[in-house]
Structure 1
Amino acid sequence: MTTPDAIGWAATAVFTASYLTREQARLRRVQMAGATLWLTYGLVLQAPPVIGSNILVLSAACWAEYRHRRDRDSAPASGTAPSTAAPATEAGGDRRAAEAA
């Protein structure tokens, strides 16, 4: 087996493993590892479509991981998740009317 083939098969294995990943943080890390392997494969073969697509995938996964860590670090110290509740309305007002405004 050639080195490019080994890299390609490793990338395939990591990509396949991402489908078995349930935790979001772990999924992002597996995606980054897979994209890095595919990027390496593309560089070895000098294949611009493989290089370009995996630069995009790696960038998106890194950005998502950064955003997750930033949000986690800025979360309240009480350990509660940020609220996803609808914005408060004026006293006694109808929330649907406030959202329509």
Structure 2
Amino acid sequence: MSLNLDQHGHLANRAAWTTDWAEATAQADEIKLTKDHWQVIKAVQQLFDETEDTPPMRLLIKVLKQRLDADIDSRFLYRLFPDNPVRQASKYAGLPKPKHCM
């Protein structure tokens, strides 16, 4: 399996995704993935599997509130993924760059 990246640094082939790749990619972005990061990453992967698209921020927060913790909000996500929560979580999840992200 190839680890080719698209022009945005996301995996071109999701089947090539591994947790080791996610860890190394996050480390290159100076982020150490914690339990909270992994919960969000897995939720983004599940949403993508269900909808065949990456979720916009509002939908991601709504789903995280339902599935993980009612207190999750955008501040929580920005603490985990400071550059852009949906885009970074999607990147580490091995998913394409979200269509709604610049």
TM-score band, normalised by the shorter chain? under 0.3
Kindly indicate whether structure 1 or structure 2 has the higher relative contact order, using CA contacts under 8 Å at least 6 residues apart.
Answer: 2
Q: Which has the higher helix share?
A: 1
